[in-house]
Chain A
């Protein structure tokens, strides 16, 4: 959801999605995860109005340049971070991309020296069950802002070459189809730190 420009279906504040009776259990459990995802966005919008929630980020194309952004072509990448991993083997990087251009772009691949394997796992409406292990490019539509946020997309760092601790900085190379390559210095934040930009989690 966060990686598209589609805002969640509007719902009046105070309305709570809930599991309805009469739906087969297997389906119900399935439905909950997704409904919850929408609820999370709604709650985020309510509690953090004006902040950079995924929904708000997607809806906003405000021209104010992010202070911590790195620009390549028409793209600005900002609020990048890696949360200190609890696992010794795997970590995830999150970021936001703003496209001020008139053409769509795509983040297809990434490279990180701190990991043996780096792959982009963005959400995709085209993703089918069973494809979870595959890398999914992050689509960056024209004049739009998209984010990789927890549970909705990330850059996966596998086979870590060392220990990542809060306070470290990791070099992350992003390869966009049109804008080209950009090298970021990504901070590692603590397991409990709030995410940069005010995004949930």
Chain B
């Protein structure tokens, strides 16, 4: 984990967005490859990332097989923690805003999954109470998942995001969007507009 952070710093970037003090970049040293006509408004992932396979525990205490539960439907996956003051609530509020602007039946189809990076504090009831702040009016409730530290770290590795450190408080800022074809071709961070996600959802629903 330390290696990942250091490697990121070498690139002139800080990969992990801490909620206590977030990621910062000098001008990115990475070459951002422009696409003349981007399909998506989020960041396009090249190559696309396959929908990961992991099983964690939902807020009701039941096993949740991510790949099986979400296969073939548009799914947003984010890793964070409820004591985060900044990135995590901003991301989930933006997600809810985007879904409110999304017409049915797509709005009811989209799965929103939040995996805690701080399982010691984020029990099922804590996760559920926190998530209900964002989705009270939405037809499909957000899914909160927890597990052991090893399990949530394995889930992050499966999703190919940097594994969180500092007891989960420094974590990836990426929210991945998997499409009906079970690949993520686009991702978001807090600070990107909900309009971007609203624009992209119908595209991934069509398997674009």
Interface, chain A (partner B; CB < 8 A): 1, 6, 8-9, 11-12, 14-21, 23, 25-27, 29-41, 43-44, 47, 83, 85-87, 89-92, 121-125, 127-134, 136, 149-154, 156-158, 191-192, 200-201
Interface size class of B (residues with CB under 8 A): 35 or more
Q: How far is the CB of B37 from chain A (nearest CB, A)?
A: 7
Q: Give the secondary structure class of B's interface.
A: loop
Per the bound structure, the CA–CA distance linking A152 and B86 in Å amounts to 9
CB neighbours (8 Å) of A134 from chain B are 21
CB-based contact A35/B169 at 8 Å: no
Q: A30-B11, A86-B82, A87-B130 are in contact. Are A131 and B173 (CB under 8 A)?
A: no
Q: A39-B43, A89-B83, A154-B86 are in contact. Are A27 and B191 (CB under 8 A)?
A: no
Q: How far is the CB of A28 from chain B (nearest CB, A)?
A: 8
Per the bound structure, the CA–CA distance linking A54 and B170 in Å amounts to 23
CB neighbours (8 Å) of A31 from chain B are 8, 11, 13, 15, 28, 30
Q: How far is the CB of A24 from chain B (nearest CB, A)?
A: 9
Per the bound structure, the CA–CA distance linking A29 and B49 in Å amounts to 11
30 A-B contact pairs sorted by A residue (CB < 8 Å):
A1-B24, A15-B35, A16-B34, A18-B32, A18-B46, A26-B4, A31-B11, A35-B43, A37-B189, A37-B191, A38-B25, A38-B32, A39-B43, A86-B134, A90-B83, A90-B84, A121-B22, A122-B21, A123-B22, A129-B16, A130-B5, A132-B18, A132-B20, A132-B21, A132-B166, A133-B20, A133-B21, A136-B21, A191-B93, A200-B192
CB-based contact A129/B33 at 8 Å: no
CB-based contact B14/A129 at 8 Å: yes
Q: How far is the CB of A194 from chain B (nearest CB, A)?
A: 9
CB-based contact A33/B9 at 8 Å: no
CB neighbours (8 Å) of B41 from chain A are 43
Per the bound structure, the CA–CA distance linking A124 and B17 in Å amounts to 13
CB-based contact B85/A85 at 8 Å: yes
CB neighbours (8 Å) of A38 from chain B are 25, 28, 32
CB-based contact A30/B15 at 8 Å: yes
Per the bound structure, the CA–CA distance linking A134 and B31 in Å amounts to 30
Q: Which of B20, B27, B87 has the most CB of A within 10 A?
A: B20
Nearest first, the 4 closest Cβ-Cβ pairs linking A and B are A30-B15, A16-B38, A17-B32, A15-B34
Is B58 on the interface with A (CB-CB < 8 A)?
no
CB neighbours (8 Å) of B82 from chain A are 86-87
CB-based contact A129/B9 at 8 Å: yes
Per the bound structure, the CA–CA distance linking A92 and B195 in Å amounts to 23
